[in-house]
Structures are given as structure tokens and as C-alpha cells.
């Protein structure tokens, strides 16, 4: 297997409805035809990502792409279907579908992990050539996708009452009080003192845990 240290994102520069009824495999065949007409031995891209989020492999990973002149060695070339009439500084969402961008992002992350490709080496074609392709700034888009992913994984808690520890402590206090009231009925005075003692210890412990968690919350440990 060749050494891989970069990922370059491209576009097919086709209209949104281009061959939409034919599917990704037929689109791959058409692009393969274009590239063979230019003298390539097969399609130059390593992967295509369709507008409905499908991924199909083009050129095998063992083969160096033929996609970005002077920067093919060590790269994987990913082509997004679409991008017709785009400019280098457009937003990705202007030319590609949400599901397409989400799948492209996950594919890039999978390949980064597999081949240990650094974030700085995930580029758009417009970073290595004077071109608009893929119609947005890949580094800026990746940063935005990463932020969105992190936010979705762990929503920010804004109230102390959302803390699981605080909720559990409150439940312990309430349960102990309820159990104590039930247990006191119908028993002699000495037994009542014993039960009250145990209940008091449990409630005090619950209050202590809740106090410490609220203190940590106030200090910013959400």
C-alpha cells in the first residue's frame, strides 16, 4: 500500500439534477468516461459522494489519483457530485445537500483515522490549484462541522437541576423521608429513635453530596 498523507476534496462541476435519476454508479461510469477521454487509464478520483449521501469508490486506494496536478502523490481524491457555477469562497451548503456533506465529512474522518492524515492536510482542490473547485473552503467547512458534531454529542447543561448527581441526591433525601414516616407508625419509642437516627444520617449524606455538586456547578464544572 502506498503512503497516504493528504485528502483533497473536489467537485464534479455538474448541475444539481445531473443524472439524478440514474444513480451514483452511472455517474461514476460517466466521469470515468470523461477521464479516459482525457487520456487517463480510469477515473481519477478515489471516491464519489452523491447528493443523497451514497459513496462509491472510483480509483483503488492502491493507485495514485489523477485529480490535482502536482499534488497527486500521497493523496486520496474525493469528488462531491454537484458544484456547477460555484466560487472558491462560497458556502458548502450553497451547492451540496446536507446529507451529502454529512457523509463526506464522515468519510474524511474515517480516512483520516485509517491513514493518520492530519487535519491540516485535508484540502480543497482550490488550495493546491487556481480553481474554484470544490466551491467552498474545505478547512473552514471542516472546522464548522467539527464544532457542530461536538455540540450535538454533549449538549450544554444550563441549570444545576440538570445534573444527574443533584437529581439522585434529591431523590435519596425524599425516599429516606418517606420511608421514615412509614416505618414510624406502629412501633415503640426506642425503635423510633433508631430509625430516626439512620434516616437522619442518610438525609445528611444526601444533603452533603448535593451541596458539593452545587458548589462544583457554581465553579463551572458542568
Q: What is the pLDDT of residue 221?
A: 45
Q: What is the pLDDT of residue 201?
A: 74
Of 75, 84, 74, 78, the closest CA to residue 16 belongs to 84
Least confident of 151-160, 177-186, 191-200: 151-160
151 or 200: which leads in pLDDT: 200
Q: Is the CB of residue 82 less than 8 Å from the CB of residue 16?
A: yes
Judge whether residue 182 has pLDDT over 70: no
β-pairing, 75-80 vs 55-57, is unpaired
pTM of the shown model: 0.68
Query: By three-state DSSP, how is residue 30 classified?
Result: helix
Q: What is the pLDDT of residue 217?
A: 44
Grid cell, residue 196, equals 430516626
Name the DSSP class of 14: B
Q: Is the CB of residue 80 less than 8 Å from the CB of residue 11?
A: yes
Residue reference for cell 499534488: 71
Q: Is the CB of residue 35 less than 8 Å from the CB of residue 42?
A: yes
Q: What is the pLDDT of residue 222?
A: 42
Amino acid at each position: 500500500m502506498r503512503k497516504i498523507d493528504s485528502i483533497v476534496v473536489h467537485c464534479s462541476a455538474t448541475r444539481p439534477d445531473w443524472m439524478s435519476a440514474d444513480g451514483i454508479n452511472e455517474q461514476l461510469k460517466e466521469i470515468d468516461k470523461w477521464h479516459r477521454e482525457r487520456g487517463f487509464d480510469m477515473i481519477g478520483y478515489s471516491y464519489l459522494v452523491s447528493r443523497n449521501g451514497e459513496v462509491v469508490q472510483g480509483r483503488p486506494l492502491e493507485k495514485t489519483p489523477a485529480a490535482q496536478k502536482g499534488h497527486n502523490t500521497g493523496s486520496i481524491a474525493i469528488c462531491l457530485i454537484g458544484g456547477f457555477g460555484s466560487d472558491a469562497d462560497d458556502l458548502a451548503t450553497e451547492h451540496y445537500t446536507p446529507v451529502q456533506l454529512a457523509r463526506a465529512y464522515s468519510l474524511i474522518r474515517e480516512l483520516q483515522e485509517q491513514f493518520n492524515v492530519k487535519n491540516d492536510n485535508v484540502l480543497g482542490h482550490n488550495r493546491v490549484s487556481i480553481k474554484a473547485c470544490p466551491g467552498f473552503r474545505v478547512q473552514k467547512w471542516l472546522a464548522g462541522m467539527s464544532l457542530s458534531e461536538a455540540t450535538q454529542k454533549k449538549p450544554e447543561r444550563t441549570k444545576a437541576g440538570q445534573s444527574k448527581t443533584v437529581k439522585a441526591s434529591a431523590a435519596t433525601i425524599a425516599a429516606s423521608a418517606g420511608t421514615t414516616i412509614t416505618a414510624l407508625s406502629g412501633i415503640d419509642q426506642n425503635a423510633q429513635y433508631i430509625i430516626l437516627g439512620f434516616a437522619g444520617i442518610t438525609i445528611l449524606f444526601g444533603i452533603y453530596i448535593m451541596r458539593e455538586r452545587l458548589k462544583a456547578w457554581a465553579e463551572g464544572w458542568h
